[in-house]
Amino acid sequence: MLVRKMCENDIPFVHEIEVNTFSDPWSRDDFKKSILDVNNLYLVVEENNEILGYCGFWGVVGEGQINNVAVKESVRGRGIARIMLNSLIQKGKEQGLEAFTLEVRVNNHPAISLYHSLGFKDAGIRKNFYEKPVEDALIMWL
């Protein structure tokens, strides 16, 4: 598996995973704007020329707001999200980021468990943060 910076040519493949993962997916243009911003970093995991997952952060005043952590359903359970996030956090630290935050659905227990294992701590709840269906978000910090 290769972890590398997302490029514009990856967006159609990333968007397909996004649409199949999230009930309120980002558009292709959302990804394009995010990867073109020099404060942000988005990564993909590739194997045999196939995009298996992606993640990224918006860099804001020494902190990384992690967005869009997703792995293709057919390859989940192989540790791809852990590999991506470890790389993302390391690269963020190399860029001078000192902290990372994210929101996750309170009922997404596999993701919460992964984030805890990476050192993230629970910091609070955002009521009704998600739509489709409406659900609270757990705020986590590293």
CA 64 to chain centre: 11
Residue-number span of the structural domain to which 43 is assigned:
2-102
In a domain, 127, yes or no: no
CATH number at residue 67: 3.40.630.30
Mind telling me the catalytic residues? 103, 115
- Are the beta carbons of 41 and 95 closer than 8 angstroms? yes
Which residues on neighbouring strands pair with residue 5, listed in sequence order?
A: 43
The per-residue pLDDT for 65 is 97
> Would you say residue 133 lies in a domain?
no
The CA-based angle 12-16-17, given to 5 degrees, is 120
User: pTM to 2 decimals?
Assistant: 0.94
Domain assignment present for residue 111? The answer is no
What per-residue confidence (pLDDT) applies to 55? 98
Question: What is the number of domains present in the chain?
Answer: 1
Helices (H) and strands (E) counted in the chain, each on its own, are 4, 7
Give the pLDDT of the chain (142 residues) as one tens digit per residue: 999 999 999 999 999 999 999 999 999 999 999 999 999 999 999 999 999 999 999 999 999 999 999 999 999 999 999 999 999 999 999 999 999 999 999 999 999 999 999 999 999 999 999 988 999 999 999 9
Q: Which of 128, 7, 15, 135 is nearest to 72 (CA)?
A: 15
